[in-house]
Structure 1
Amino acid sequence: MAGSAGRSGRRPKPTARKELAGNPGKRALNKDEPVFSPLKGVDVPEWFIEVDLPLATVMWQMTTKELCGQGLLCVTDLSVLERWCVAYEFWRRAVVQVAKQGHVVTGATGGPVKNPQLTAMKEHSSELSTTGSMLGLDPSARSRLIGLAGKGKSDNPFMKMINS
């Protein structure tokens, strides 16, 4: 969206990737990255098992292992991670149904109609992209979130006095 802070133009590279590359652009690196306490590990939500979401459970285990191993998963991310895992489960179910039934199915009136599972696939794919980006499951998304953290600072001396 043009004109939105942090959203227009090319997505920024994560600071860690810039440092690994030797900061080829020689621009200042983001020093205001937010610091949250990372989790060492977290159990699968009980309700995943209660409502029989086996793929969501597997994705939770695999994703938390990776995110916790990198120190990237915090308590503030857990509800978004739940949404991501559930979206993955339902997306996979829709993919299987389309593979079995095809793109066109018989409608209520007996004529051919677009398989409703295609719409479900698209909606869950969108949820996967949105929540995955919020979790920083792609490097550019993590960098964009980090880059916006320091934007609200003010040079107002009174604000500095209040905040100290």
Structure 2
Amino acid sequence: MTGTAVRPGRGRKPKSNNRKKLAGSKHVKPDEPKFSQITNINPPEWFDDLAVTMWEMVCPELCRERVLTLTDIHNLEVFCCSYSNWRKSQSEVSERGVTMVDAEDGKLKKNPAMTALNESARQMATFGAMLGLDPASRQRLIGGNKQDSGNRFSDF
């Protein structure tokens, strides 16, 4: 084994060469295969309106930042579908409440949409992090603002 983490909980995930370059790293492997850069891609035909809306908001940004490659499209699909499921579940919870009366015994029980809501939120967080859609993973994937700090000693 080469020392890079391959199992969850065993250190940081390795960055791709492209992401290392974007972050300004000097440690770029010259022999890594290059994937063609995606400039735009249409959402899958089977998406519902909510998933399409999220795709159209996120995909152009990911392409512009050169985060999205052909091998990442499935992550974006799962993220957008999770968003759609999350919105539908939240609508159900807003309409019927967090708890509901059980038809069989008349007791209060948790609305099943709460489980779907929580699972969708977890999937959005997981797949969003893979795509750099939260501040911490965005910093890891594409680096911070590359503005000159004006510090003449910053190169040392």
TM-score > 0.5, shorter chain as reference? yes
Question: 1:45 maps to what in 2?
Answer: 44
Q: Paired residue for 2:60, among 65, 68, 85?
A: 65
Paired with 1:127 and 1:67, the residues of 2 have a C-alpha distance of 18
Q: Paired residue for 2:112, among 103, 109, 116?
A: 116
Question: 2:124 maps to what in 1?
Answer: 128
% identical aligned pairs: 36
What displacement does 1:106 show? Answer: 1.2
TM, length-normalised to structure 1: 0.66
- Secondary structure of residue in 2 paired with 1:105: strand
1:16-62 Cα distance to aligned partner (Å, 9 max, x none):
8976xxxxxxxxx45237754320000111111xxxx1000011111
TM, length-normalised to structure 2: 0.69
Paired with 2:128 and 2:9, the residues of 1 have a C-alpha distance of 24
Structure holding more helix per residue: 1
Q: Larger relative contact order (C-alpha < 8 A, sep ≥ 6)? A: 1
**For the structure 1 residues 42 and 88, does the alpha-carbon distance in structure 2 shift closer, same or farther, using more than 3 Å as the test?**
same
Aligned length: 127
Q: What are the within-5 Å matches in structure 2 for residues 1-164 of structure 1?
A: 4-6=10-12, 29=25, 31-32=27-28, 36-48=35-47, 53-109=48-104, 110-142=106-138, 144=140
RMSD, aligned α-carbons: 2.9
1:42-97 Cα distance to aligned partner (Å, 9 max, x none):
0111111xxxx100001111111111122221111111110000000000000011
Paired residues of 2:39 and 2:63 also in contact (CA < 8 A): yes
Paired with 2:8 and 2:44, the residues of 1 have a C-alpha distance of 39
Paired with 2:81 and 2:9, the residues of 1 have a C-alpha distance of 33
Which segments of 5 or more consecutive residues in structure 1 lack a partner in the other structure? 8-13, 20-28, 147-164
1:81-128 Cα distance to aligned partner (Å, 9 max, x none):
100000000000000111111111111322211111111110000000
Which segments of 5 or more consecutive residues in structure 2 lack a partner in the other structure? 1-6, 14-18, 143-156
